[in-house]
Structure 1
Amino acid sequence: MTTSARAPQGPLTRGRATLLTGLTMAVIAFQLNATMLNPAVTQMEIELGVTTAAIAFSSALFFLSKAIFQVFMPRLSDMVGRRRVLLVLLAILAAGTVIAMVGPTVEWLYVGRFIQGTCGPVFTIALLTLREAIPDEKEYGTRLGVIIAINGGIAGIDVILGGWMAEHFGFRSILALCLVLTIAAILAVIAWVPSGIATPGARMDWWGVAFIAVVVVALSWAVGGDPFGHRFPSLWAFGYIALAALALLAFVARQRSARDPLIPADQLGNRAIWAMPLTTILTLAGVMAVANLVGPSFAQNPAAGWGMSATLASILFIAPYALVGWVVGPFAGRLAPRVGYVRLLQLGLLSSAVVIAALALVGLRSPIAFGVLLFVLGITYGGITNVMLNGLGVLLSPASAPGLLPGLNGASFAIGAGLSFTIVGQAITNGSPAGAESSLGYAHGLWICAGIALLALLITPLLPKPQLNGAGGQA
């Protein structure tokens, strides 16, 4: 089965350079709230007088609300217009940032971070806006790669800058900078992003939204742990899985009977609706923790690794990984219409699995090999696989509901990332002698990641072929 994106039409005719700038600023405004606070955890503990677990919970709330709102906000933008939803989300982001910045206790931080997370769909709506504005496939692919690369971080500079600001001015200074950038993004969207195409009379299936939100929350808590300290595997985790299954059945039944379903009835059998999110979940489960957990943890581990400082580990390993993905992404996006999105996705997954296996075999023995292999993973995953996953999420969405699949796909990123951190974190500890962290535990985690990445590769033949604008497009 093939699907097509909605053809470019209507008022989306503003200058493409300013459009890209406005969308990029909106994505940056949200993304910096996700990345710049990562190196500020210790400072947040000191200033708020709480534990690492309390700060980690604030991040969990951020990503949970992001996953929930990813499900339906892009679809809502189909109905009321892209720019209107972008502006509402950015305004909410500013309010959440203020609360997190001025709140005197960690409870206020929880509130602020949850509100901030609801604005995660900014990225997905930016991709949809770009698709509708640019009919040329090569130009679209290039600019798609730019926005996706930006969504992964500002080439590692954001993390380094966040650590420096937290150390010298406190974590609230980071939120102050994010607030300024959010206000600038609001002005840029008003000035440079067109109003887009609304669908008069369309109605949101809020019961469907509620059921699918339960699925997302239950799966997230099952794989990443719930707020009450229950971790997989546990009876609670299996209970959440059962709840997710029941909510999914209720969602399907609702879609068959609803007057305005979230997923049109003729699309329930579309392979893309389930194969795309499944591919994304498995890909993130296999790759996300490699650079974001194994990389910094092993480099800083004085017994198993090399005992580096957090700053040095970021400069040597994390920043190059982020930078090369930032550079390669636009080229991969431009190449995709000619070579094929699915083919490039398969190439990225296969090469990523090989790189992760090499990390397990030789990367843990030498910091040079470790750094080189993480750099290559930045190409294979950050520059290729990640761009193809996001691009296919847009291209394979039903023409009657273009915001549907990108929303489901966005939520799948959060579920897969949670699964990755849970699996690898446990492997590092449980795979080591006497429960202590050792290179053996890290190697076990990496081998598991390589296996999951190969499993994602096996799912990709189920993805339908997307129709591209014009003749000659490849899948």
Structure 2
Amino acid sequence: MIPLLPDFPVILGVTADDASWLVTATLLSSAVATPIVSRSADMYGKRKMMVLCLAVMVAGSVVAAVGGSFLWLVIGRALQGFASALIPVAISIMRDELPKEKMGSAVALMSATLGIGSALGLPLAGVLYESLGWASIFWVSAAAGVPLLLAVVLVVPESKVRTHGTFDYAGAALLSGALIALLLAITKGGTWGWGSEPVLLLFLATVILLAAWIPYELKVRQPMVDLRTSARRPVLMTNLASLLIGFSMFANMLVTTQQLQLPVVTGYGFELNVITAGLCMVPSGLAMVVFAPLSGRIIRIFGGKTALMTGALVMIAGYVGRVFFYDSIAWVIVGSTVVGVGTAIAYAATPTLIMSAVPITETASANGLNNLVRAIGTSTSSAAIAAVLTSVTMTVGDTRLPSFDAFKDIFWLAAGASAASMLAAVFIPRAAGVHRPPASDIGAVELVVQGRVLAPDHRPLIPAVVTVLKTDGDPVDWSRVDTEGNYSVALPGAGKYLMVANAGGWAPMAEVFDFDGRTLQQNFMLRERLQLQGTVSAGGTSVSRAVVTLLEAGGGHVGATRTDGDGGYAFPLPVAGRYVLTMLHPVTQEAMAQKVTVDIRSITVDFEAPPVEDTAGERVGT
């Protein structure tokens, strides 16, 4: 739609600001659909969600083609936004179905299609518009969607790897509201004014909704987004890098066609028409197709972290080159293509990094969040580029046009974003990006085993994590328990597995699980509570009813208790850190204190108090 936006105000009889909703509507619907559809894919079936997305996209294309009015066109474009959720869901299906040796290149190509489709869609839209009219764009989308829909139904198997439970409707509603407010503020800020009341209110609504959503997600049984997993360093840094790569990538797409269409008199434009300028983006799209498998090879040999950093480095080289080499169409195409190659390599690495750091039963939703973060990066890029192009200008006759300094600023900004993504990648653990062997490597179908992690009194232990290993030590899957102590892990067929359950404040438990392919329930009962414990005595005699208090090193109160008849006391083991342990004798009021350093093991601290005074009022001992 981007190359055709200048013509739609005349075609539809609307303002240019109204016409921009043809892009904004798709952006907003995709932002809402991607996390919801991705989470639903993990819970209800990945093929089902692919069919749903394609069906809605086809319906939206038909509505836009036959609607005949601006309103129906916006509705159709919003329905088309559901197609964005296809990428994360499809990547998770690949993880379930493909053999290990094909995973890297397949996921790389699938992830890179986000850029490939955009690069090839720009010129195709221009050709269709000039030859067959604007409605043909939507008819072609519908015509492409129907056979794809049938192919998914006939060819793609439904995954048996499911996350059981209920969908988090409240979390989905809060997140959707926050995303709509944020993206609407970003995309309309330049038009409405960044300091205008509507934009400020949208940003305020974003903050309020996120402030409600985050604590809700942390306490709900099965959250829309597992924030604890998302906060793990590999996932957090990968998502941050994805946001920056998305920002950098979109700059290349937006400014290349603009530079090629600007008048020659500017000194850097080439005055090409929409179709020719779009065709100049084809080499970039084709290069992404060619180099995506290279990223798969880099991932397979060196890991996803190296691939991500390599892609970002290539993007930096492309943007720096565009600053100095811009005086011919060939140089513009070369610079754009180099950036496209870097984008393909970097984009291919992110789903691999995400899937290696999250449970198998959450791969679709985790990749959906990664795609969403990427989309926020591209939206921010669009707003930033528009601001630069309208503020750094030159006058040509009676027309104000962007100067080349504006393009240079954008190239440096995009290069800086790529460099920042490299910095984020530095903090991703080196082991990230290693593929788990899928079911096809073992000749069986993955099955989900569920259970609970419990205390001896059968109450759920939270927080807790269950990890599954092969008997040779290779990782299989892991799961964080929900608020009722439930976990779900995917096992690649029958066999023996080492299962480890670990909960805060309890000694971990490991046992071999001989999986017969039918027993899909395995509970853990952790029996040894880690404690800070000890005794209080005076003159070799146990002191009962003594007050023992645990304080943080900074003075904060943790807890207090009294010794029992044998002089013993115990606290649940607090989080690792430095503490002060105090004792107050119930008779003599003698007080004592000790510094204690707590790690992850039970600790024993005994107090030996001075003996009680004798009948003459003199102390016995010291």
TM-score by length of 1: 0.83
What SS class does the counterpart of residue 192 from structure 2 fall into? coil
Q: Distance in 2 between matches of 1:440 and 1:265?
A: 41
Report the counterpart of residue 409 of structure 1 in structure 2.
370
Match of 1:117 among 81, 93, 96: 81
Rounded to whole Å, the distance in 1 between the matches of 2:235 and 2:173 is: 18
- 1: CA distance, partners of 2:215 / 2:41: 24
Match of 1:334 in 2: 297
Aligned to 1:283: 245
* Distance across 2 between alignment mates of 1:186 and 1:251: 34
For residue 57 of structure 2, what is the aligned residue in structure 1? 93
Matches within 5 A, 1:18-57: 37-41=1-5, 44-57=8-21
Deviation at 1:332, TM superposition (A): 1.3
SS at structure 2 position matched to 1:468: coil
**In structure 2, how many angstroms separate the alpha carbons of the residues matched to 1:263 and 1:162?**
36
User: Aligned residue for 1:384?
Assistant: 345
AA at the equivalent of 1:263: V
Q: How does 1:7-406 map to 2 (within 5 A)?
A: 37-41=1-5, 44-136=8-100, 138-154=101-117, 156-197=119-160, 199=162, 201-225=164-188, 229-232=191-194, 234=196, 236-264=198-226, 266-267=228-229, 269-290=231-252, 292-302=253-263, 303-304=265-266, 305-315=269-279, 317-360=280-323, 362-381=324-343, 383-406=344-367
Letter matched to residue 143 of structure 2: V
Cα deviation for residue 217 of structure 1 reads 1.9
1:204-225 deviation line (CA, Å, top 9, x unaligned): 1111112222332232123222
Cα distance in 2 between the residues matched to 1:293 and 1:265: 33
- Report the 3-state secondary structure (helix = DSSP H, G, I; strand = E; otherwise coil) of the residue aligned with 2:326: helix
Q: Tell whether the 8 Å contact from 2:249 to 2:340 is kept in structure 1 after alignment.
A: no
CA RMSD of aligned residues (A): 2.6
Residue 463 of structure 1 aligns to a residue whose secondary structure is: coil
> Is the partner of 2:380 in helix, strand or coil?
helix
1:248-287 CA deviation, whole Å, 9 max, x = no partner?
A: 2322211222122223475364234433332221222223
C-alpha change, 1:164 and 1:267, in structure 2 (3 Å) is closer
Alpha-carbon distance, 1:162 to partner: 2.6
Secondary structure at the aligned position of 2:77 is classed as helix
Q: Distance in 2 between matches of 1:396 and 1:281?
A: 18
CA distance in 2, matches of 1:278, 1:200: 26
Letter in structure 1 aligned against 2:307: L
Deviations for 1:277-314, whole angstroms, at most 9, x for unmatched residues?
A: 32221222223112x22111111110431222222222
Q: Which residue does 1:461 correspond to in 2?
A: 426
Residue identity opposite 1:253 in structure 2: P
CA distance in 1, matches of 2:38, 2:404: 43
Distance 1:461 1:233, change over 3 A: farther
The code of the aligned residue for 2:58 comes to A
Which of these residues, 415, 418, 430, is aligned with residue 450 of structure 1? 415
Contact 2:91 2:364 in 1 (8 A): no
Q: Find the counterpart in structure 2 of residue 430 from structure 1.
A: 391
Q: Tell me, yes or no, if the aligned pair for 1:351 and 1:380 is still in contact at 8 Å.
A: yes
Task: From the superposition, tell whether residues 242 and 116 of structure 1 become closer, same or farther in structure 2 (CA, over 3 Å).
Answer: same
Identify the structure with the greater strand proportion: 2
8 Å contact 2:356–2:436 — kept in the other structure? no
Distance (Å, rounded) in 1 between the aligned partners of 2:210 and 2:83: 24
CA distance in 1, matches of 2:420, 2:184: 23
TM-score by length of 2: 0.65
**Sequence identity of aligned pairs in percent?**
22
Per the alignment, do residues 444 and 253 of structure 1 end up closer, same or farther by CA in structure 2, a change over 3 Å counting?
A: same
In structure 2, relative to structure 1, the CA distance for the partners of 1:467 and 1:368 (3 Å cut) is closer
Q: Is the 8 A contact 1:346 1:460 kept in 2?
A: yes
Rg larger in structure: 2
CA–CA separation in structure 2 for the residues paired with 1:299 and 1:446: 15
Does structure 2 conserve the Cα–Cα contact (< 8 Å) formed by 1:296 and 1:314? yes
In 1: Cα distance, 2:125 partner to 2:394 partner = 35
Query: Can you give the 5+ residue segments of structure 1 that lack an aligned partner in the other structure?
Result: 1-36
Instruction: Please give the per-residue CA displacement for 1:427-462, whole angstroms capped at 9, x wherever unaligned.
Output: 122123476411112112222222222122211223
- Aligned AA for 1:468? H
Higher relative contact order (CA 8 A, sep 6+): 1
SS at match of 1:152: helix
The more displaced of 364-373 and 77-86 is 364-373
CA change 1:40–1:238 in 2 (3 A) is closer
Asked whether the equivalents of residues 97 and 113 of structure 1 are also in contact (C-alpha less than 8 Å), the reply is yes
Shift of 1:423: 0.9
Query: Quick check: 1:440 aligned with 2:405?
Result: yes
Of the structure 1 ranges 69-78 and 205-214, higher mean CA displacement relative to structure 2 is found in 205-214
Partners of 2:314 and 2:341 within 8 A in 1 = no
Look up the SS of the partner of 1:365 in the other structure. Answer: coil
Q: Is the 8 A contact 1:364 1:439 kept in 2?
A: no
User: Does the aligned pair in 2 maintain the 1:396–1:405 contact within 8 Å?
Assistant: no
- Provide the C-alpha distance between the structure 2 equivalents of 1:386 and 1:409, rounded to a whole number of angstroms: 11
What is the Cα deviation at residue 130 of structure 1?
A: 0.6
